[in-house]
Amino acid sequence: MSDTAHPPLIAVTAGRDLPRRPSVVRLSENSVRALTASGALPVVIVPGVDTAAVRHIMERVDGLLLPGGIGAPDPNPRHFGEEPRPETVIDDDLDALEIAAIDHAVRLGMPVLGICRGCQILNVALGGGLIQHLEPGDVSHLPALPLDSEAHELRLEAGSRLAGLSGARLLRVNSLHHQAIAWPAPALKVVGTSEDGVTEAVESADPDRWIIGVQYHPEELTSRPAHRRLFEDFVSSSARYAAARSQERTVSA
């Protein structure tokens, strides 16, 4: 649970349900539940909000969650100097929303958690690149399994924030992606890979910054303490950010 009497506000981006229902905005219910169960209050922002409005929202929240999920589009590869492959599904409006939100969150120093597509767009926004399509191999990254099922291993770096939260360097995780990080942004470091070497987790290269991106879906695995603690720590860190910001305003008043 968060360490403040007032729930921290977490901005959560929601995208269109492409390509099936482009007029419908989708958001995983379990992403919201993972936040509220940890003591946060989600604030949903959607594509079409202009840059000034995004800045207005980000100056009033305490953390940023970039979710993924079934139907989530891919970041436009032109952001990292490539042309789209046939498998790539793009929503430029969602890219614009999330990149603007990431820029403000990083500038303000607030905690950021990216999940699946959210991990990818976080990396792209900060200057990294993606593998546009993972070819079939020893590990299936898009298995025909329910999201609450464990699909493959996650091998964590010793000393990483994720390893500390998990209490282990080897986890079993779910999987629902056809893209992955090709090279990390300068501000991020790789802290977790699957057994075939695909990047599955990144963190801020600055240990004082709470920025984590995971390629799997911990919101579907919160019955396991290792995954639940990720949300609890994210919300607690957002609460500390809120408290520090409130103190700064009091001093400057």
User: Which residue has 């990254």 as its token pair?
Assistant: 141
CB 185 within 8 A of CB 123: yes
Q: What Å distances lie between residue 36 and 43, 54, 184, 198, CA to CA?
A: 11, 22, 30, 31
CB 149 within 8 A of CB 174: yes
Q: Select from 56, 63, 61 the least CA-distant residue to 110.
A: 63
Active-site positions read: 116, 217, 219
The C-alpha atoms of residue 41 and residue 246 are separated, in whole angstroms, by 17
The C-alpha atoms of residue 212 and residue 202 are separated, in whole angstroms, by 6
Q: For 21, what's the count of Cα atoms within 13 Å in the CB-facing half-sphere?
A: 5
The C-alpha atoms of residue 11 and residue 160 are separated, in whole angstroms, by 25
